[in-house]
Structure 1
Amino acid sequence: MSTCAVSRPPACTRKVRLWENACVELILPQGHSERSYHNALTAFSAVVGQEWVLATDSDRDTYMDAYALGDGRNRAPGAAVAPASREEVQAIVRLANEHRVPLWPVGRGKNLGYGGTSTVVPGTVVLDMGRMNRILEVDEKHAYCVIEPGVGFFDLYNYLKDNNIPLWMAVPGNAWGSVIGNALERGIGYTAYGDNAEQLCGLEVVMPDGDLLRTGLGALEGSKGSYHYKYGYGPSWDQMFMQSNFGIVTQAGVWLQPEPQMSAKASITLPQFADIGWAIDKLGDLRRRDVIRHNFVFGNFMHEAAVYSQRSDWYDGEGAMPDEVAQKIIDKYGMGWWSFRLNVAGGPGMVEAHMKEISDALEPQLDYKLDWTTWQQGDPIERSARGIPSVTALQIVNWHGGRGGHIGFSPVMPQDGELALAQATRMKARFEEYGLDYYTSFTMGRRHINNVNLILYDRDNVDMVTRSRGLFTALIEDSAANGYGEYRTHIDFMEPVAKSYGFNNQAQLRFNEKVKQALDPNGVIAPGKYGIGTLNGGVEA
């Protein structure tokens, strides 16, 4: 087994009869026979019921990447199986080992812009846990919930709201997905609890051999503190299951934010491209001192323009949109070159003090006073800084018309204004070199910024897709050369991004491969995810 490369086998397609009335074009992973694959799907059906083994052509099409760079068939799954319980997941994993058929676990399959439910190795069977959607517990006193991977942000939000539970949650820009799935991919929301991975406490994991593990204090039989303390006794393994293919999380505790007495929010716009320099330094200082206690998106004008309009409303020319057209958009919407929103929450005294400190820090550089909107308990919740799920942000894929899509390139950087300005200048030039519109943001964390660059394209425009791929590849190389690593990526680029972490002859990737080989010698869990693991099985049954 190679320690650095992920296999890229061509899809092997054959028409085969799976059930008595279903003859489909079956996509097989390399090295698999029709018989072994058919036997595996038949065995899965005995666990979940035939109706939950989804293997027709139309079934498979629903699991293709909706935003794929091209037609997406190079990453097409072979089928899907949808368990309803942890016990069914365990049974499926054991059968996958027996038949050497790989699985690709998803919670709700809405990881849009990163591959959705498509798979690195074509022909892999999607393990769709969308039916596992129980909210098992909500502890109002201690501010946590226990949920399954099929629970989405709208599900949890509505449950808390409908039951008048005064706990807040953090939601990402696209809130269509799984709460657990987003946290395991290190996704973010925009409240004080917005580092979603940090809010996980106590995982239940089905291991690659079908065994069951509970992390932290959950390893104690009858534990009363599984969702109160993350680390337990001895090594802590929770991070091992984030952005990995070392196991399948079937349940997790999630910390929630107790509803504050008061919150306030303000929107800030900056007129000039170069304003990012001073603003990142000022905001970074406020963030590190916990005056600002939440992640927030410091985005360029395209954030608004791509949601509320289409490119053709402004420009029909070739190449990247010129700066003078960008200025027309800025003037039309009054949004500035950059814009962001800040929230403050807590007791009234703390909120008012932090509002003043933020205003005092920013207003000397602005030509206006910050306009704060406040909320207090009992006011309509829509006025608060609470995370409320929305999918409005997905409107950006209509920017070019046609079958739109987007892909994000997101390196992590220090909170340094000079570096951020240099990065934005460099990135803008690269987008223009490839004839694509520059859509970017700098998401502010506690000590870092994520430079999220979205490449918008029309999937049916072959030239645009080719240029988008070229740009993404160039950005990987540029960022590695400047010492910045991407924190999360699309399945098409998992291998080259993994290789860009090159210290000591890719020691981290080699270590990941050793762990993968030890835990999953048959390579049945998500082969190739984050550049880890080739397809080891495949001997004809």
Structure 2
Amino acid sequence: MSSPASSGDGSIPILDSKYSGVPARLRQDAVDAKARLYSQKTLPDSTARRKTILPPGVSREQFGQAITELKGAIGDEDVEINDKPLVDGWYMEHPNTHDAYHIADQEELICSAVVYPSSTAEVQTIVRWANKHNIPIYPISMGRNIGYGGAAPRIPGSIVVDMGRRMNRILDIDADNASCIVEPGVSYFALYEEIQRRGLPLWIDCPDLGGGSVLGNAIDRGVGYTPYGDHFANHCGMELVLPSGEVLRTGMGAMPGKDGSDNPTWQSFQAAYGPYVDGIFSQSNYGIITKMGFWLMPETGHQSYMITFPRDEDFSRIVEIIRPLAQKRVLGNIPQLRHVIQELAVTGKPRSFWYNGSGRMPRDVIRERASTLPCGDVSWIFYGTQYGDPTSIKAQLEIIRSAFSQIQGSRFLFPSDVPADHYLHSRVQVCSGVPALRELDWLNWVPNAAHLFFSPISPTKGKDASLIHGIITRLHAKYGFDVFPTMCVAGREMHYIANIVYNRADRDAKQRATSLMREMIRETAKFGYGEYRTHLLFADQVAETYGWNHGALRKFNETIKDALDPNSILAPGRNGIWGQRYRGLGWEILDGDKRNMLKDGVSPKLYAALKGGL
């Protein structure tokens, strides 16, 4: 067993030398973020492995023969057996072998091997190999889907297809068309830095952290904060490998260009002719996307700001004021509404700095501690950004200021009104397309911090938002967790994202976090509110909540799965979609499931017997 890792910066990858690295401009930020996280780390870097893993129904001899064949096709150095100690790492140095933020046992959701293709043709080779040997594969772009399962496969023993390491090219940036084409390993950091290197007047849209895959985030329907914040809505054209091994291009890319070149309108028009199929390849397991086009935002003027509100009970009124502003497009971006406890967390100081008690931090303690910060003793904070020329921005801000002034005690602040280290300055960057790392700081809340996201969708109405918030708050209190709500608010819907921060070295905390997730999914579904995205271990329960007309949607998804992937080799179980080979055999973790994932694992005990060694 090794000792806890130091916070030294020698291992932090730099973008110039590694596709998954941090830009040189953020190197010190990364060093500091890692130091803060590792200051509370008590877990060892790794422990001796207790078990090895094989694909289900595959003997060790069969596995060895299949891996030898795969190495011969892809290259010996680009196929790795997962037999080494598991290292959780952190955001910039995360694993591709398992979930860094394991909610089950660390050795539960692990792969048997990792393969690194370099091209669409090699992805085809891998898919055909998987069909031949009946071995499940699990594709990842960069594996930074942290909070939703990371790089972990849903079926233990699957082969992870890591496309980031060798498929990380920016294939094209068309300045006139304001578009680009990227491979899975292109991060927001990489795309931003390349646009800056070329001196192009274009913006990207990034989520809170910039290290994730542009392509991967979009196909999971992630969001950002500029007017181009709906990432999937702003994609245009994709190339993918179907579970049969065939290659498909969607949209205008289905039409060949002159002399075999790419069609010149592939990144200009999304739908092309006939059914618009792109959507079925988001949040699914119907294909492996190897190239994807995106629209970029023309550079423009911008002004970020924050508005504070003094009372918890202001919440419903705030949402009601936001709705017409967003519907009329007065609000320039997808703004965030956060509770003041997150002002404490984003300082990077641990919970113990603010409060040493057990259970949820009392509201009076939050008030007292917040009063020492620039925001003061408030309850809610709205972060927004306006875009355009100075005259139009000024007019927009006057309308917004007037609307929110209806709430007594509200206060309007610009970046110049708060210290240079305040979180608002990070929002300025993110909301103008500059990827950052600041959002890592709230993870330092507890030792060995990990987190789960609970992400239901609410109408942008005060009564709906308040009902969801009430359920989440009540259940967090029941299970002893602080509530970290972030609302990403649009004109008709808002993403309510609750961050459950837990100590991954604490088995009790992991079990409580699991129970909290299950109950929040169940309770909000009773009122017709569902998650838009979830951790892979809760995907079956979430998919089950979309049960209108006896689960017609789920049956439809299964019909497509069985037609495209008759051998069920591609990411079985992803987003609750199981192929016929696994369906109904106990792999699903549905509401009411009694298994203790820390003790019992996720694999059905009778699987091998039921399938006769499949």
| TM-score where L is the length of structure 1 | 0.90
Q: Tell me, yes or no, if the aligned pair for 2:251 and 2:270 is still in contact at 8 Å.
A: yes
Distance 2:343 2:104 in 1: 26
Distance 2:533 2:313 in 1: 27
Larger displacement relative to structure 2 (326-335 or 114-123): 326-335
**Could you say which residue in structure 2 is the equivalent of 1:126?**
160
Q: Tell me, yes or no, if the aligned pair for 1:359 and 1:369 is still in contact at 8 Å.
A: no
| Alignment equivalent of 1:286, drawn from 316, 322, 325 | 325
**Could you say which residue in structure 2 is the equivalent of 1:17?**
none
2:195 matched to 1:160?
yes
Larger displacement relative to structure 2 (308-317 or 50-59): 50-59
Aligned CA distance change for structure 1 residues 354 and 539 (closer, same or farther; 3 Å): farther
Q: Tell me, yes or no, if the aligned pair for 2:136 and 2:568 is still in contact at 8 Å.
A: yes
Aligned residues: 512
| Alignment equivalent of 1:147, drawn from 182, 189, 192 | 182
Distance 1:27 1:237 in 2: 36
Q: What residue ranges of structure 2 are gaps of 5+ in the alignment?
A: 1-48, 88-94, 258-262, 417-424, 583-610
**Could you say which residue in structure 1 is the equivalent of 2:284?**
244
Aligned CA distance change for structure 1 residues 184 and 539 (closer, same or farther; 3 Å): farther
Deviations 1:94-124 (A, max 9, x none): 1111111111111111000011000111111
Distance 1:233 1:36 in 2: 45
Larger displacement relative to structure 2 (338-347 or 228-237): 338-347
**Could you say which residue in structure 2 is the equivalent of 1:462?**
507
| Alignment equivalent of 1:177, drawn from 212, 216, 238 | 212
Letter in 2 for 1:476: I
Deviations 1:476-509 (A, max 9, x none): 1111001101000001111111111111111111
**Could you say which residue in structure 1 is the equivalent of 2:312?**
273
Distance 1:102 1:518 in 2: 17
Letter in 2 for 1:115: G
| Alignment equivalent of 2:526, drawn from 478, 481, 504 | 481
Identity in percent: 36
Distance 2:407 2:574 in 1: 45
**Could you say which residue in structure 1 is the equivalent of 2:466?**
421
Deviations 1:306-325 (A, max 9, x none): 23221111222221111111
Deviations 1:441-496 (A, max 9, x none): 21112420111111110011111111111111110111100110100000111111
Q: What residue ranges of structure 1 are gaps of 5+ in the alignment?
A: 1-22, 375-379
Q: Tell me, yes or no, if the aligned pair for 1:60 and 1:80 is still in contact at 8 Å.
A: no
Q: Tell me, yes or no, if the aligned pair for 1:54 and 1:60 is still in contact at 8 Å.
A: no
Deviations 1:123-170 (A, max 9, x none): 111100012000011011111111101100100011111211111011
**Could you say which residue in structure 2 is the equivalent of 1:204?**
239
**Could you say which residue in structure 2 is the equivalent of 1:440?**
485
**Could you say which residue in structure 1 is the equivalent of 2:395?**
353
| Alignment equivalent of 2:137, drawn from 103, 113, 117 | 103
Which structure is richer in relative contact order (CA contacts within 8 A, separation 6 or more)? 1
What is the 5 A alignment of 1:46-445? 46-58=72-84, 62=95, 63-130=97-164, 131-222=166-257, 223-260=263-300, 262-308=301-347, 309-335=349-375, 336-367=378-409, 370-372=412-414, 385-401=431-447, 403-445=448-490
Deviations 1:44-66 (A, max 9, x none): 21232111111142276532111
How far is 1:75 from its partner?
1.2
Letter in 1 for 2:67: L
- Report SS of the residue matched to 1:333: coil
Q: Tell me, yes or no, if the aligned pair for 1:330 and 1:337 is still in contact at 8 Å.
A: no
Q: Tell me, yes or no, if the aligned pair for 2:319 and 2:461 is still in contact at 8 Å.
A: yes
**Could you say which residue in structure 2 is the equivalent of 1:13?**
none
Aligned CA distance change for structure 1 residues 118 and 395 (closer, same or farther; 3 Å): same
**Could you say which residue in structure 2 is the equivalent of 1:521?**
566
| TM-score where L is the length of structure 2 | 0.80
Distance 2:64 2:340 in 1: 51
| Alignment equivalent of 1:29, drawn from 30, 50, 55 | 55
Q: Tell me, yes or no, if the aligned pair for 1:93 and 1:208 is still in contact at 8 Å.
A: yes
Q: CA RMSD in A?
A: 2.2
**Could you say which residue in structure 2 is the equivalent of 1:492?**
537
- Report SS of the residue matched to 1:97: helix
- Report SS of the residue matched to 2:153: coil
Distance 1:446 1:369 in 2: 23
Q: Tell me, yes or no, if the aligned pair for 1:303 and 1:439 is still in contact at 8 Å.
A: yes
Q: Tell me, yes or no, if the aligned pair for 2:460 and 2:492 is still in contact at 8 Å.
A: yes
Distance 2:446 2:502 in 1: 6
Aligned CA distance change for structure 1 residues 70 and 333 (closer, same or farther; 3 Å): farther
Q: Tell me, yes or no, if the aligned pair for 2:471 and 2:523 is still in contact at 8 Å.
A: no
How far is 1:428 from its partner?
1.0
Q: Tell me, yes or no, if the aligned pair for 2:327 and 2:491 is still in contact at 8 Å.
A: yes
Distance 1:158 1:460 in 2: 37
- Report SS of the residue matched to 1:464: helix
How far is 1:40 from its partner?
2.5
- Report SS of the residue matched to 1:31: coil
Larger displacement relative to structure 2 (289-298 or 522-531): 289-298
Distance 2:537 2:512 in 1: 15
Deviations 1:325-374 (A, max 9, x none): 12123212243321121111123343222122112211232546634469
**Could you say which residue in structure 2 is the equivalent of 1:10?**
none
**Could you say which residue in structure 2 is the equivalent of 1:3?**
none
Q: Tell me, yes or no, if the aligned pair for 1:24 and 1:55 is still in contact at 8 Å.
A: no
How far is 1:425 from its partner?
2.3
Distance 2:506 2:253 in 1: 51
- Report SS of the residue matched to 1:118: coil
- Report SS of the residue matched to 1:487: strand
How far is 1:269 from its partner?
1.4
Q: Tell me, yes or no, if the aligned pair for 1:59 and 1:79 is still in contact at 8 Å.
A: no
How far is 1:423 from its partner?
2.2
Q: Tell me, yes or no, if the aligned pair for 1:36 and 1:540 is still in contact at 8 Å.
A: no
Q: Tell me, yes or no, if the aligned pair for 1:297 and 1:442 is still in contact at 8 Å.
A: yes
Deviations 1:226-250 (A, max 9, x none): 1101001000111010000000000
Q: Normalized per residue, which structure has more strand?
A: 1
Larger displacement relative to structure 2 (298-307 or 481-490): 298-307
**Could you say which residue in structure 2 is the equivalent of 1:5?**
none
- Report SS of the residue matched to 1:145: strand
Distance 1:540 1:82 in 2: 28
Q: Tell me, yes or no, if the aligned pair for 2:359 and 2:480 is still in contact at 8 Å.
A: yes
Q: Tell me, yes or no, if the aligned pair for 2:308 and 2:412 is still in contact at 8 Å.
A: no
- Report SS of the residue matched to 1:197: coil
Letter in 2 for 1:98: K
Larger displacement relative to structure 2 (230-239 or 424-433): 424-433
How far is 1:31 from its partner?
1.3
Aligned CA distance change for structure 1 residues 383 and 390 (closer, same or farther; 3 Å): closer
Larger displacement relative to structure 2 (364-373 or 65-74): 364-373
Q: Tell me, yes or no, if the aligned pair for 2:82 and 2:112 is still in contact at 8 Å.
A: no
Letter in 1 for 2:224: G
